[in-house]
Amino acid sequence: MHKYTIHFLPADKSVEVEEGTTIAEAAQNADLFINNLCGGEGVCGKCRVQVSKGLAEAEEHAKGFFSADEIMKGYVLACQTEVNDDLEIIIPPESRMDESKIMIDGATEGSIKYEFKPVIKKIYLELPPPTVEDNVPDIERISRELRKQLGWQAFDFSLDCIQHLSDMLRENEWKVTVTVSKHGNNYRILKIDPLNTADSSYGLAIDIGTTTVVAQLLDMNSGKLLGSEGCHNQQASYGEDVISRVIFACGRGGIHPVQKAVIKNINQLIKKLAKEKDVPIDEINAIVAAGNTTMSHFLLGLTPCSIRLDPYVPTADEFPQIRAEEIGIQISPRGILETIPCVASYVGGDIVAGVMSCGIPEHEEVRGLIDIGTNGEIAIGNKDWLVCCSASAGPAFEGGGTRCGMRAIKGAIEKIKITDGRLKYETIGNARPRGICGTGLIDCIYEFVKNGIIDPGGKFDRNRSDDRLKIEDNIPQYVIAYPDETESGTAVVITESDIDNLIKSKGAVFAAIKSLTDYIGLGFDMIDTFYVAGGFGSFLDIPKSIAIGLLPDIPQEKIQFIGNSSLTGARMCLLSESAIETCVNISRSMTNIELSTYQPFTDEYIAALFLPHTNRKLFPSVDY
């Protein structure tokens, strides 16, 4: 089979690929990532690239995404165009995934503090040599000393721990360091090193999000946070949301490339943190990872196909402790990976970790956790009970499903203000506009309805005298940034159908919150605190989010942004066996309400397809 060289600009990277490889696959091989909402199905049009040298032609069905002029200039969809020549490819700004706002800091732990008792421990032992009176086997001699320090425990050990143990003990005057981890009700001896290495022990807390992967490096002796790093989840090459990725993994692609992508993310973060903090990678002995149910399945290579099919059953909700090297994670060869358990197909370990981290199961007061993303997950409860649900909000808040929507990366319009008919915007990085991210879209809706540009149903006032209001092909659209202001030279607009998608998204989140509170028989005023988690949630404007009907109309002091609560929970579990036990108990005891079969949710959803809501009594503070 022929091989061809593909040169990508502006990254100035080249890669050699086999004939028939798609341009999108070639970009992945070059460690370049192109926007791809649909997972390579060729239906979203977000992976547009320009062939500046060489021969490559857009697939016939993909030509609808381009004007005649763009086709003449060599524009194609990367996921649908195969390589049959040496090519030079320009990835335009709107197709790149770069310079994102990634929340790399976890939230502050709740008021409940767990005992500092890390999931792995390095214990230095000075053993008494055997005598005629004390001639127990070497491994029992070690276990006996460990029991003196850890209390009565049974210790499991692997063959490679003891193959050279006899020589090691005698050559080092019976001085060794033993690394142990909690494994169920027992402890597991992971490795035995000569002499005293107890001062060098590290662990990682990892949040595997659909959009980003974030890791924190911690000193396992002190619990000190040494550093944090984050990056885009490379699985985005196989689809923007979990459903697209599941379809890819259960279809033509298989699960291996999707798993490989996130493992590659994790290994890159490990190398970067270890280098920055001068930490030996082989002294990183433990990882605790939290993610939604699909991400956890992808991480461990579990078949995810039944997650998206009625009756929505995952392969597992609790996961075994494994050696990280079993799935290709590059830490100590005997280092462990713990994956926080899930509740249901669409309520995962990220929510379990979040509920634990903000202390909901430890308090008398009723508290709630809201995580707004492609899925809107909500959990409510106290120390006596916990309920949860998940509503598909769609990708609108993350830039999908809207003409000029994009992720929160450089050039995304994130704030909009209309005063006396004059529109002003702010972009991430103060760059020229490339599109609008989720917070900017919320600002749009709020400013539009407040200024009478749209009615409460989301329809533009077509009789309005406004130079920014255009009608193309009978579709109203509002210009946020004119062509001469943008990076691409194309106007950034929001259309009536975009607004409709955003209203559906905000309606799904609010309807889920309302359905869950009604299910447990509580009004919003009976919830002590609503915690809003996640990167997107942390940038929300509370008054505007209430005003459009996304969040309940409650006193603002009752709504607290807590950042990446999934990462915080993973960190707490890394540093405390009790925190892990709490997560297991949460996953087993939390009641999941399946909204797809819960009729009141449908009624609430329909009622929420209005700004702010059909029932204005639910939003007494909103005065537009």
In a domain, 553, yes or no: no
pLDDT value at 107 more than 80: no
Q: For 118-154, what is each residue's pLDDT tens digit? A: 999 999 999 999 999 999 999 999 999 999 988 877 8
Indicate whether 140 and 217 sit together in one domain. Answer: no
Count of CB atoms within 10 A of residue 282's CB? Answer: 15
* Whole-number Å distance between alpha carbons of 358 and 378: 13
In a domain, 265, yes or no: yes
Phi and psi at 553, nearest 5°, equal: -85, 85
In a domain, 78, yes or no: yes
In a domain, 155, yes or no: yes
Of 44, 98, 370, the closest CA to residue 212 belongs to: 98
Identify the pLDDT of residue 262: 97
Pick from 120-129, 345-354, 527-536: least confident: 527-536
Share of the chain above pLDDT 70, in %: 95
Identify the pLDDT of residue 113: 73
Identify the pLDDT of residue 102: 66
Indicate whether 153 and 263 sit together in one domain. Answer: no
Phi and psi at 279, nearest 5°, equal: -110, 130
Q: For 375-413, what is each residue's pLDDT tens digit? A: 889 999 999 999 999 998 777 777 777 889 887 888 999
In a domain, 105, yes or no: no
Query: Which of 62, 79, 95 is the endpoint of a domain?
Result: 95
Identify the pLDDT of residue 474: 84
Query: Which of 316, 339, 362 is the endpoint of a domain?
Result: 339
Identify the pLDDT of residue 577: 92
Indicate whether 168 and 246 sit together in one domain. Answer: no
Two tokens, residue 458: 């989301």
- Residues near 533 by Cβ (< 8 Å), separated by ≥ 6? 107, 354, 369, 370, 371, 562, 563, 564, 565, 566
In a domain, 624, yes or no: no
Indicate whether 253 and 303 sit together in one domain. Answer: yes
Indicate the pTM of the whole model: 0.88
Indicate whether 64 and 143 sit together in one domain. Answer: no
Identify the pLDDT of residue 498: 93
* Alpha-carbon torsion angle 481, 484, 487, 492, nearest 10: 30
538 band by pLDDT with thresholds 50, 70 and 90: low
Two tokens, residue 543: 């008054």
* Whole-number Å distance between alpha carbons of 564 and 193: 36
pLDDT value at 100 more than 70: no
* Whole-number Å distance between alpha carbons of 578 and 318: 16
In a domain, 567, yes or no: no
CATH number at residue 125: 3.10.20.880
CATH number at residue 29: 3.10.20.30
Identify the pLDDT of residue 111: 46
* Whole-number Å distance between alpha carbons of 314 and 296: 10
Indicate whether 265 and 301 sit together in one domain. Answer: yes
| Residue type for position 114 | Y
Identify the pLDDT of residue 304: 95
Indicate whether 124 and 179 sit together in one domain. Answer: yes
Structural domain total, the chain: 3
Count of CB atoms within 10 A of residue 69's CB? Answer: 8
Query: Which of 159, 194, 229 is the endpoint of a domain?
Result: 194
Q: What is residue 575's three-state secondary structure? A: helix
Identify the pLDDT of residue 99: 52
Indicate whether 209 and 188 sit together in one domain. Answer: no
Two tokens, residue 496: 């009536």
Indicate whether 209 and 330 sit together in one domain. Answer: yes
- Residues near 59 by Cβ (< 8 Å), separated by ≥ 6? 42, 76, 77, 80, 81
Pick from 220-224, 332-336, 453-457, 473-477: least confident: 473-477
Q: For 7-62, what is each residue's pLDDT tens digit? A: 999 889 999 999 888 998 888 888 887 877 676 777 777 888 999 999 887 676 66
**Residue-number span of the structural domain to which 151 is assigned:** 120-194
In a domain, 220, yes or no: yes
pLDDT, mean over the chain:
90
Pick from 285-299, 383-397, 437-451: least confident: 383-397
Phi and psi at 462, nearest 5°, equal: -70, -15
The CA R_g of the chain, rounded to the nearest whole Å, is: 27
Indicate whether 213 and 328 sit together in one domain. Answer: yes
* Whole-number Å distance between alpha carbons of 543 and 612: 12
Of 126, 116, 118, 124, the closest CA to residue 187 belongs to: 118
Indicate whether 233 and 335 sit together in one domain. Answer: yes
Query: How far lies 491's CA from each of 94, 462, 499, in Å?
Result: 12, 20, 17
Q: For 86-99, what is each residue's pLDDT tens digit? A: 999 999 877 776 65
Indicate whether 80 and 188 sit together in one domain. Answer: no
DSSP class per residue in 90-137 = E--GGGB--SB----SBPPP-S-----B-SEEEEEEEPPPP-SS----
DSSP class per residue in 270-327 = HHHHHHHHT--GGGEEEEEEEE-HHHHHHHHT---GGGGSTT---S-SS---EEGGGG
Task: Provide the 8-state DSSP code for 511.
Answer: H
* Whole-number Å distance between alpha carbons of 352 and 582: 9
CATH number at residue 209: 3.30.420.480
Identify the pLDDT of residue 535: 66
Identify the pLDDT of residue 505: 92
106 band by pLDDT with thresholds 50, 70 and 90: low
Q: Which residues of 2-33 are buried (b: 16+ CB within 10 A; e: fewer)?
A: eebebbbeebeeebebeeebbbbbbbbebebb
Q: What is the mean pLDDT of residues 550-566?
A: 93
Q: For 228-270, what is each residue's pLDDT tens digit? A: 999 889 898 888 788 889 999 998 789 999 999 999 999 999 9
